[in-house]
Amino acid sequence: MVANPSLVLNKIDDITFETYEAPEIVEPTDVIVEVKKTGICGSDIHYYAHGKIGNFILTKPMVLGHESAGVVSQVGKGVKHLKVGDRVAIEPGIPSRLSDAYKSGHYNLCPHMCFAATPNSTEGEPNPPGTLCKYFKSPEDFLVKLPEHVSLELGAMVEPLSVGVHASKLGKVTFGDNVAVFGAGPVGLLAAATAKTFGAARVIVIDIFDNKLQMAKDIGAATHTFNSKTGGDYKDLIAAFDGVEPNVILECTGAEPCIAMGVQIAAPGGRFVQVGNAGAAVKFPITEFATKELTLFGSFRYGYGDYQTAVNIFDANYKNGKDKAPIDFEQLITHRFKFDDAIKAYDLVRAGSGAVKCLIDGPL
């Protein structure tokens, strides 16, 4: 047996190190990846603290982690585009190849999605394995090779960046757009960076914490910022945005006041992308939404091509070296931990101690 050290969430407030048997090649297109870097996501913390997110309820132990990059250690005989030693970003959600969602090109909406570190409600079936382990198995077509300019640490950030990519694609962000991003957490910051990369002329990031807003400017993701707690109402926000009403809203908080303000500041005919999830139903300013003829898009994870686009963004950003990078994505990595200290990493992020993106090394 090849040992596979793993970090396991057993139940609320209970994380342990366990050793399982490493996965093996079964299908010709299977690839075994030795995981090297894994980011902690807010969803991981939610399961740790509450044991559920919406209808996804933890009822049995689950290996944590879904934001990962690593090095290919084995390939099936049918693998054509990867070889042992290649560095890859791992896309953690595998749809049913038989679903209508997959066949129609919207595989992120597949009702039978097997998503890493997401509880499986099927009786008697184990949870999909997470990526916080030494060895992880994936189909070849859900791995993206990392170019030389993209480190394994950045590779672990491809997953949250892909959320921003998907949102900007849905909102059709392009050159000259004026974009407002609500929320300066990791997803909001990466959504703002994506909008900037897609050619937005102005990007304003809205949050209630000045240090997060400062980071949005420091990394080069925002041209403007606004503190919605101390800065005033929606008219003050527009004034802070050079008097411009944004034509694209990327709402990354799920908070009712932010959703309402997003509708208030949106330019007539604008596009509103809802990225953040709310804990319950929210009131929505439907009359103003209708009279402005806004278009609303729901955004869920990422779809076809989004992972590759995210890798391409990192590659283009760093092609001339770190010193000349337009956006300092690496500044978002505020904490790094060895695998043996992974529980400490989860506790730090859960405590809300200022971590933006926390990365954990793979097991040695």
pLDDT tens, position by position, 305-337: 999 999 999 999 999 999 999 999 999 999 999
User: Do 60 and 128 form a contact (C-beta atoms < 8 A)?
Assistant: no
Distance, in Å, from the CA atom of 272 to the CA atom of 297, rounded to the nearest integer, reads 6
Residue 307 lies in a domain: no
pLDDT in tens, 226-265: 999 999 999 999 999 999 999 999 999 999 999 999 999 9
Global pTM reads: 0.96
Q: Are residues 141 and 223 in the same domain?
A: no
Q: What is the CATH number of the domain that holds 235?
A: 3.40.50.720
Instruction: Say yes or no: 144 and 179 in one domain.
Output: no
The string of DSSP letters for 234-268 reads: HHHHHHHTTTPPPSEEEE-S--HHHHHHHHHHPPT
* pLDDT score, position 73: 98
| Three-class DSSP category at 142 | helix
Q: What is the rounded distance in angstroms from the CA atom of residue 296 to the CA atom of residue 41?
A: 26
Token output for 286: 């439907």
pLDDT confidence of 127, banded at 50, 70, 90?
confident
Is the same domain home to 232 and 134? no
Co-location of 11 and 135 in the same domain: yes
At residue 50 the predicted structure's pLDDT band, cuts being 50, 70 and 90, is very high
CA distances from 129 to 20, 79, 118, 193, 240 (A): 11, 22, 8, 30, 46
Rounded mean pLDDT of 163-183? 98
Q: What average pLDDT does the chain have? A: 96
**CATH number of the domain where residue 73 is located:** 3.90.180.10
Q: Determine the structural domain holding residue 53 and report its residue range.
A: 3-149+319-361
Q: How many domains does the chain have?
A: 2
**Within a domain: 51:** yes
* 154 falls within a domain: no
Give the integer Cα–Cα distance in Å for 6 and 21.
10
Q: Judge whether 228 lies within some domain.
A: yes
pLDDT of residue 124: 67
Identify residue 284 by its one-letter amino acid code: F
Residue 156 belongs to some domain of the structure: no
Tokens matching residue 299: 């955004």
Q: Are strands 357-361 and 333-337 parallel, antiparallel or unpaired?
A: parallel
Q: State whether 325 and 248 are in the same domain.
A: no
Angstrom distance (rounded) from CA 122 to CA 141: 26
Contact 179, 202 (CB under 8 A): yes
Domain shared by 10 and 96, yes or no: yes
Rounded distance between C-alpha atoms, residue 349 and residue 343, angstroms: 10
* Locus of tokens 């960046």: 161
Residue 314 lies in a domain: no
